[in-house]
Amino acid sequence: MSQPSIPNTNPFKSELFTVATVLVAAWITYAMHLVFTVVPNEVTMGAVQRIFYFHVGSAFATYAAAFCMLIGSLGFLALKQNHLDSLQLAAAEVGLLFCSLVLITGMIWGQFAWNLAFSFREPRLVSTLVLWLLFVALVALRKFADREQAPAFCAVLGILGAIMVPVVVFSVKLLSPIAQLHPVVVEHGGLREATFRTTFWVANGAVVSMGLLFIWIRHRIALLEIRSNEQNI
C-alpha cells in the first residue's frame, strides 16, 4: 500500500494553525466569560458546581478523541498507513489528557459537593477509570513496545478503548438514580434555565474544539517524527 507524502513543516507555523488557534482561544474565552460572570451560583452546591461546564466538556473531548482513535485504529488495521497510526497515537494521548481531567475535576467537584471524591460503587466513575487505564495502557504500549509491532498492538487496544465509551455513557443506567451520586443532568431534563443551557453547550463546544486542535497538532508532530526517523536511518 503506498504511503501518502508526509508534510515536512512545523505545524505551529502554518496559517491554518494560527486561524484555528485564534478561533478556539476566542471560543474558550467566551465560555469562561459565561461560566464565571453570566451563570448564577447553583443553590445547593454553590460555586463548585461551575466545574460542571468544563468537566462535562472534558468528557465530550475524551469521547471525541476515542472516536478519532477508532478511525485511526480501524484504518491502520485495514490500510497499514502511517498517517492512520499517527492519528491513533495522537487521539490516545489527547484522550488520556482529557480523561485524566474528567476524573480529577470530577473528584474535586464530588469532594466539595457531596464529601465523596470517588466510590467503587458508582458505575460511571468506575467505567471512566477503566477507560483511563486503557488510555494509559495505550500510551505505555507505544512507549515500551517494539517499534515494528507497536502500531498493530495499539490499533487493537485502541478499538477496545473506543468500545469502552458506550459503556461509560450508558453506565448510569445500570443503577437507579437514587442509588448513585453521579448526576444525569441532561437526560433528566436538568438545566431548565436558558443561561445554564447556553453556557453548557458553549463550554462543551470550546473544550471539544480544543481537544480536536490538540489531536491535529499531535498528529502532525507524529508524522514529522516518522519522517525524521526515516531520514536518520
Partner 1 sequence: MNEVAQQITQQVPDTFNGMFIGYSVFWIGIALYVVFLGIKLKHLEKRK
- Cell numbers for 229, please give them: 526517523
Cβ-based nearer residue to partner 1, 76 or 98: 98
Smallest gap from Cβ 48 to partner 1, in A, equals 4
- Which residues of this protein are in contact with partner 1, per CB under 8 A? 10-12, 41, 43-51, 54-55, 58, 94, 97, 100-101, 104-105, 108-109, 111-113, 210, 214, 217-218, 221, 224-225, 228, 232
Cβ-based nearer residue to partner 1, 12 or 118: 12
Cβ-based nearer residue to partner 1, 1 or 233: 233
Cβ-based nearer residue to partner 1, 36 or 176: 36
Smallest gap from Cβ 78 to partner 1, in A, equals 28
Alpha-carbon distance values, 42 to 14, 55, 60, 137, 187 (Å) = 43, 16, 22, 38, 19
| Residue closest to 155 by CA, chosen among 104, 103, 82, 214 | 82
SS3 of 42, please?
strand
Smallest gap from Cβ 218 to partner 1, in A, equals 7
Smallest gap from Cβ 191 to partner 1, in A, equals 18
Smallest gap from Cβ 77 to partner 1, in A, equals 26
Cβ-based nearer residue to partner 1, 119 or 156: 119
Burial class (CB in 10 A: 0-12, 13-18, 19+), 134: buried
H runs (alpha helix) in the chain: 15-33, 51-79, 82-114, 123-144, 150-170, 194-232
Smallest gap from Cβ 170 to partner 1, in A, equals 26
Cβ-based nearer residue to partner 1, 54 or 63: 54
Burial 103-121 (b: 16+ CB within 10 A, else e): bebbeebbeebeeeeeeee
Asked whether the CA dihedral 48, 196, 63, 26 is positive or negative, the reply is negative
- Cell numbers for 212, please give them: 480536536
Smallest gap from Cβ 46 to partner 1, in A, equals 4
Q: Distance between CA 114 and CA 126 in Å, rounded?
A: 17
Cβ-based nearer residue to partner 1, 37 or 44: 44
